[in-house]
């Protein structure tokens, strides 16, 4: 497997918002750019009506030209199969609506709370577990943060705030810092975790300001990147990740096990080794959630366990992520046993 890295040309926009604005937004222009000579099926175009294609150029640059089965492309390319129904695949498989106790807050784990800091993303992943989520009623801006955080303030059993979304790094550095300060102001919060895929698809999102603000926080900080394939790591990630780490922010990764993308022990082994070389600890390997429109990515539990055994046999324990499945109504992730 070839890991593609590329130094951007001097005239490439450096600001992440410009890069995001210049993303691919339709199937044909992405396929043309990748020199893939196929016409998308009409039903694939239909699938992109309800959940549009969105692919930033730095992510597209890591795809292999001429390869319709490129593992990065398969994560973002709308497919006709998304319109099929499949038994057991539903809009809200984790029943998040029950733990979405108020706008912008999901409280399903003891001691931790999710704050939906932003409702958009920089990339639309076809396997997304929140692709049918009620973002409309969870759109909270700066004006509503204080109200949402009043909930956190009122429950002293909560010690960790998890910024989720959408992607919380869609916020500007200024807005993020404002939010960070509001959270720091709650005495019983000791940890802040940020779940994000944005720097994976636009490495320039790891700005000096973001790194400095996070590293200067009084809170114990961690960033959980969502990287599914070793090809997603880029030489542009190295310096900012190193700066985050050396400033005291813990770097973790969670991947989703995706049929056709990373469901081979060899790929997962390369991913863990690449993560280690960037100072990121493999944390979770998630079974894909059974979300309507995503059945083409599903991997059976039997196959996942077989693959996991293979992975454990070739890696030291600290490079093996936990294989987990989230189940509706269970207040923790279920670790899948391999014995
Ligand atoms: S970045 Fe995360 S939340 Fe956004 S589309 Fe991808 S999987 Fe879904």
**Each residue of 106-163: pLDDT tens digit?**
999 999 999 999 999 999 999 998 988 888 888 988 889 999 999 999 999 999 999 9
Output the average pLDDT for the chain: 93
Higher pLDDT, 158 or 4: 158
Percentage of residues of the chain with pLDDT beyond 70: 96
For 47-71, what is the mean pLDDT? 96
Global pTM?
Answer: 0.94
Does position 338 have pLDDT exceeding 90, yes or no? no
Q: Return the best residue to mutate from 55, 96, 135, 166 for the ligand 1 pocket (most ligand atoms within 8 A of CB).
A: 166
Indicate the pLDDT class of residue 201, thresholds 50, 70 and 90. very high
Q: pLDDT band for position 331 (50/70/90)?
A: confident
Query: Could you tell me the domains of the chain?
Result: 16-83 (no CATH), 96-335 (3.20.20.70)
Is pLDDT at 8 greater than 60 in this prediction? no
pLDDT of 3 over the 90 cut: no
What is the band of 39 on the pLDDT scale with cuts at 50, 70, 90? confident
C-alpha 202 – ligand 1 centre gap (Å) = 14
The response to whether residue 20 sits with its C-beta less than 6 Å from ligand 1 reads no
Quote the ligand 1 centre to 161 CA distance (angstroms).
Answer: 19
130 lines ligand 1 (CB under 6 A): yes
Q: Dump pLDDT digits (tens) for 242-272.
A: 999 999 999 999 999 999 999 999 999 999 9
pLDDT given for residue 1 in this prediction: 43
Confidence band for 5, pLDDT divided at 50, 70 and 90:
very low
Mean pLDDT of 46-51: 90
Q: How many A from CA of 124 to the centre of ligand 1?
A: 6
Query: Is there an atom of ligand 1 within 6 Å of 124 CB?
Result: yes
Q: How confident is the model at residue 45 (pLDDT cuts 50, 70, 90)?
A: confident
User: Which residue has the least CA distance to atom 3 on ligand 1?
Assistant: 166
| Ligand 1: centre distance to CA 199 (Å) | 12
Q: What is the pLDDT of residues 166-180, one digit of tens each?
A: 999 999 999 999 999
- Measured CA to CA in angstroms, residue 216 lies from 129, 149, 169 at distances of 32, 21, 17
Closest residue CA from atom 6 of ligand 1: 125
* Residue bearing the CA closest to ligand 1, atom 7: 128
Q: Which atom of ligand 1 is nearest the CA belonging to 195?
A: 2
């Amino acid at each position: 497997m070839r890991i593609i890295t590329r130094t951007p040309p001097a005239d490439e926009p450096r600001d992440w918002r410009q890069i995001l604005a210049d993303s691919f937004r339709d199937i044909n222009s992405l396929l043309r750019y990748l020199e893939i000579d196929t016409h998308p099926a009409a039903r694939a175009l239909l699938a992109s009506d309800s959940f549009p294609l969105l692919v930033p150029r730095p992510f597209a640059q890591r795809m292999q030209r001429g390869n319709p089965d490129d593992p990065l492309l398969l994560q973002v390319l709308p497919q006709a199969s998304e319109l099929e129904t499949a038994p057991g695949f539903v809009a809200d498989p984790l029943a998040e609506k029950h733990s979405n106790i108020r706008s912008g807050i999901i409280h399903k784990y003891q001691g931790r709370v999710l704050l939906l800091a932003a409702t958009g993303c920089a990339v639309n992943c076809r396997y997304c577990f929140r692709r049918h989520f009620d973002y409309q009623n969870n759109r909270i801006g700066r004006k509503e943060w204080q109200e949402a955080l009043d909930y956190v303030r009122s429950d002293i059993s909560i010690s960790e705030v998890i910024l989720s979304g959408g992607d919380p790094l869609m916020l500007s550095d200024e807005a993020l810092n404002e939010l960070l300060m509001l959270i720091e102001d709650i005495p019983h919060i000791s940890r802040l975790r940020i779940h994000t895929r944005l720097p994976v698809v636009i490495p320039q999102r790891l700005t000096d300001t973001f790194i400095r603000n996070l590293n200067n926080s009084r809170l114990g900080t961690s960033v959980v990147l969502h990287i599914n394939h070793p090809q997603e790591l880029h030489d542009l990630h190295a310096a900012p990740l190193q700066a985050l780490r050396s400033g005291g922010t813990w770097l973790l990764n969670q991947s989703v096990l995706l049929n056709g993308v990373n469901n081979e022990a060899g790929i997962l082994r390369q991913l863990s080794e690449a993560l280690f070389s960037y100072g990121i600890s493999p944390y979770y390997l998630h079974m894909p959630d059974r979300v309507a429109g995503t059945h083409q990515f599903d991997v059976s539990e039997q196959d996942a366990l077989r693959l996991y055994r293979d992975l454990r046999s070739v890696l030291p324990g600290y490079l093996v992520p936990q294989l987990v499945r989230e189940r509706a109504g269970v207040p923790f992730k279920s670790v899948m046993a391999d014995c």
